[in-house]
Amino acid sequence: MLNSIHEECGVFGVYSPESSPVALTTYYGLFSLQHRGQESCGIVVCDDGIFRSYKDVGIVNDVFKPEIIRSLGSGNMAVGHVRYGTTGSNDRSNAQPIVVNHVKGHLAVAHNGNLVNSMELRSEQELQGCIFHTTSDTEVISYVIIKERLTSRTIEEAVCRAMYRLDGAYSLVIMSPQKLIAARDPHGFRPLCYGKTEDGRYIVASESCALDAVGARFVRDIEPGEILVFDGKTKTIHSITEHCGKASSAMCVFEYIYFARPDSVMEGCSVHEARERAGKFLAQQHPVEADMVVGVPDSGLDAAVGYAKESGIPYGIGMIKNKYIGRTFISPGQQARENLVRIKLNAIAEVVRGKRIVLIDDSIVRGTTMKKIVTLLREAGAKEVHVRISSPPFLNPCYYGTDIDSREHLIACHHTTEEIAQIIGADSVGYLDIEHARLLAGGDGSGFCCACFDGVYPTEIPQSAGKDRFEQRPIVGRPISENPKFQNQTKKA
């Protein structure tokens, strides 16, 4: 069951004019994107057209031991991926990047986002004889590109033609034997940017913090609909803008609220500043008399600073997070699951005792986690706990890469704000309203997808959107024994 929000994954790519330790560079880049996915990770290196790859379930530091990095060796290009699966199971087969060998060579694909027409595309491909080894959207994308490659002059032309068939959210890093390609869907749901190092290597990443981690200077964001090609043969870079401007911009506003790292800059806006702005708006909309503002580590800290600055209430470190436990922490048994919040978080009694606390967090999903956090503060002696959330209430499923696939477990769909406060044990609850959520990145508030809050979807809604939609779908067609064409032969046999 859903306790907190997760995002699908992070992508990374490196192009070097000369052979260099691109595997190590990718390793550092994935480390900085670890917050975007902790289920699995992978790296593929291209060395003069030869692909070497490794991927497995687990976080970057556990999967890529020094001997694994050494075995990948040097090369002139590499792609990497960290995954939190919003479609497909979390076994090793769904780890990325996906590598496909086809009649015109090799292809490695790393993908962030969800397609809304993946079911239709996959069924079509299976009826044409394609055999799938994973249950993720990424393999669907790779087959669409490969099919277009058969009649295209170049791999980038194939990607451009494939984009006419892909609908939904996709930020892609694609590697052929000679080219590294970055592509972003026409709506720009998920972030993608690139930069350059002093020694001439180009870096593509989901967030600018990954550029910083490998010493690259941020150049710019990949535009919605853009295809950017780094050509190893001609040593040139060129942009294809055929799909740019063909759809309204709809970047996920929750990237600013929660997904991205605070030190990243997206679409010209500092994520840290956007979250401080959210806290400022919260203080204006939901003021309360209190003694201290406390943020839930780590996602509520920036908004808590903004709330404190705007309200004049002192900011305090009232909770501590165990930084050695990630989302992959295994908690077997019901009792262990109940104690998980206590293992990850603890209140500082000397700070909160006897005080009226404003508690800031990014969201409430089911309410179970927030209830336990409020309980921790009460047990530590907090006199009052007023919960403030730096996003609007979650009321709708997301089809673009966030694992909210139904309204069933969303507490705000079934309870009023007053009822939620009672359920979680808080003295009051206040959410950021949708109008101010659109203003977090500055500007006029346009160009963002807020469908999980307001139900306004930029694309068609898929018929099936669950994480296991490929595993649970009915088998296409009928058994041979039920097919009239073969009934006589079956009886004779």
Pseudo-torsion of CA 165, 10, 75, 90, nearest 10°?
Answer: -90
Nearest to 123 by CA among 464, 484, 404, 460: 464
Give, in order, the Cα–Cα distances in Å from 365 to each of 5, 281, 285, 319, 394.
7, 21, 21, 20, 7
- Give the separation between CA 456 and CA 188, rounded to whole angstroms: 16
Q: Is the omega angle on the peptide bond into residue 97 within 30 degrees of 0, that is, cis?
A: yes
DSSP 187: T
Tokens at 181, concatenated: 């390609």
Contact 86/69 with Cβ under 8 angstroms?
no
Q: Which of 9, 398, 450, 452 is catalytic?
A: 9
- Give the separation between CA 202 and CA 216, rounded to whole angstroms: 8
- Give the separation between CA 41 and CA 369, rounded to whole angstroms: 27
Contact 187/234 with Cβ under 8 angstroms?
no
Task: Assign 23 to helix, strand or coil.
Answer: helix
- Give the separation between CA 110 and CA 97, rounded to whole angstroms: 5
Alpha helices in 128-227 (DSSP H): 137-149, 155-162, 208-213
Backbone CA torsion sign across 404, 405, 411, 415: positive
Task: Tell me the CA end-to-end span of the chain in Å, nearest whole number.
Answer: 48
- Give the separation between CA 119 and CA 60, rounded to whole angstroms: 30
Tokens at 178, concatenated: 């000679």
Q: How far does CA 49 lie from the centroid of its chain?
A: 30
DSSP string, 284-301: HHS----SEEEEPTTTTH
| Beta-bridge partners for 12 | 80, 205
Contact 34/62 with Cβ under 8 angstroms?
no
Q: Identify whether 160 is a catalytic site residue.
A: no
Nearest to 193 by CA among 247, 269, 258, 253: 269
- Give the separation between CA 195 and CA 215, rounded to whole angstroms: 9
Residue with tokens 């063909």: 246
Residue 229: burial class (beta carbons within 10 Å; 0-12, 13-18, 19+):
buried
Tokens at 356, concatenated: 């009226």
- Give the separation between CA 394 and CA 419, rounded to whole angstroms: 15
Contact 408/254 with Cβ under 8 angstroms?
no
- Residues forming the active site: 9
